[in-house]
């Protein structure tokens, strides 16, 4: 039972680390869209008054627009990578639930059986709910910026305003993400510390691998 709980807590921490990536990607995407909208507004505003300078202005600002669009593509790719990790952790949690059910089946009392399966089941439900939120949000963001035209200043400005998941059209309930799962208290402290240690060790190994690749 303790082993399964430790694995659940470790998985929960890794899941939250991926969710935290969204907090970084969110403002990056907003900044890129705002930049695109601002450049487009300046360029198209001048072009509307002077046809003779169209080629010169487009040439001057085209690279900046393309660079911003490239950043936006990278951000959407990072969101897809985030989703892959969240799905992987959710699937792994389903396996832990199976393990917990097996452990609970051999428990001496009903109370012990419930203790073995309660948190893994709650974790699975929370992960699947949060994953669904992020899947809908990433799909919304992808559709929002699909086929953007540099000359369509109005749409660029609207996309910049609607990008945030915290807005009226966002799909993520941040209160649920932060407080929707109650961690087990009494018996989890040592398991949590062990899970934290393993998680930190895993990240340290990943960083070392990246440094070694960079040196090569």
| 193 part of a folded domain | no
For residue 147, pLDDT over 90 is answered with no
* Local confidence band at 48 (pLDDT 50, 70, 90 cut-offs): low
Give the pLDDT band of residue 107 (cuts 50, 70, 90).
low
* 207 falls within a domain: no
- pTM for the predicted model, two decimal places: 0.75
Which CATH number belongs to the domain containing residue 91 in this structure? 1.20.58
Mean pLDDT of 131-154: 92
Q: Give a yes or no: residue 148 inside a domain.
A: yes
205 part of a folded domain: no
Query: What's the pLDDT at 188?
Result: 45
Contact between 4 and 116 under an 8 Å Cβ cutoff? The reply is yes
124, 96, 81, 83 alpha-carbon torsion, rounded to 10°: -20
Asked if the structure places residue 79 within a domain, the reply is yes
Q: What are phi and psi of 50, to 5 degrees?
A: -140, 110
Q: Is residue 195 part of a domain?
A: no
Query: Is the per-residue pLDDT at 88 higher than 50?
Result: yes
Domain membership of residue 200 (yes or no) is: no
Between 184 and 203, the higher pLDDT residue:
184
Pick the more confident residue, 157 or 44. 157
Alpha helical stretches, state H, the chain: 2-47, 54-105, 110-144, 153-162, 174-179, 189-215
Highest mean pLDDT, choosing among 23-27, 102-106, 210-214: 23-27
What pLDDT score does 162 carry? 94
| DSSP single-letter state for residue 18 | H
In a domain, 77, yes or no: yes
Instruction: Check residue 197 and give its pLDDT.
Output: 58
Report the domain count for the chain: 1
Ramachandran area for residue 184 (φ above 0: left; ψ -120 to 50: alpha; else beta)? beta
Q: Is the pLDDT of residue 63 over 80?
A: no
Structural domain boundaries enclosing 52: 1-179
* Residue 212 confidence (pLDDT): 56
CA dihedral (150, 153, 157, 160) in degrees, to 10, reads 0
């Amino acid at each position: 039972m303790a082993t399964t709980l430790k694995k659940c807590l470790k998985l929960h921490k890794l899941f939250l680390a991926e969710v935290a990536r969204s907090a970084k990607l969110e403002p990056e995407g907003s900044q890129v869209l705002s930049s695109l909208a601002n450049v487009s507004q300046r360029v198209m505003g001048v072009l509307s008054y002077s046809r003779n300078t169209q080629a010169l202005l487009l040439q001057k600002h085209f690279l900046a627009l393309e660079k911003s669009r490239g950043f936006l593509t990278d951000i959407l790719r990072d969101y897809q990578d985030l989703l892959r990790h969240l799905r992987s952790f959710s699937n792994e949690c389903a396996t832990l639930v199976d393990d917990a059910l097996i452990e609970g089946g051999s428990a001496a009392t009903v109370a012990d059986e419930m203790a073995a399966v309660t948190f893994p089941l709650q974790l699975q439900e929370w992960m699947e709910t949060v994953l669904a939120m992020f899947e809908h949000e990433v799909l919304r963001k992808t559709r929002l910026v699909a086929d953007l035209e540099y000359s369509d200043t109005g749409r660029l400005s609207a996309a910049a305003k609607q990008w945030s998941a915290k807005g009226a059209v966002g799909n993520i309930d941040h209160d649920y993400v932060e407080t929707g799962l109650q961690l087990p208290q009494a018996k989890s402290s040592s398991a949590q510390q062990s899970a934290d240690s393993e998680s930190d060790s895993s990240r340290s190994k990943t960083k070392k691998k990246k440094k070694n690749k960079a040196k090569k």
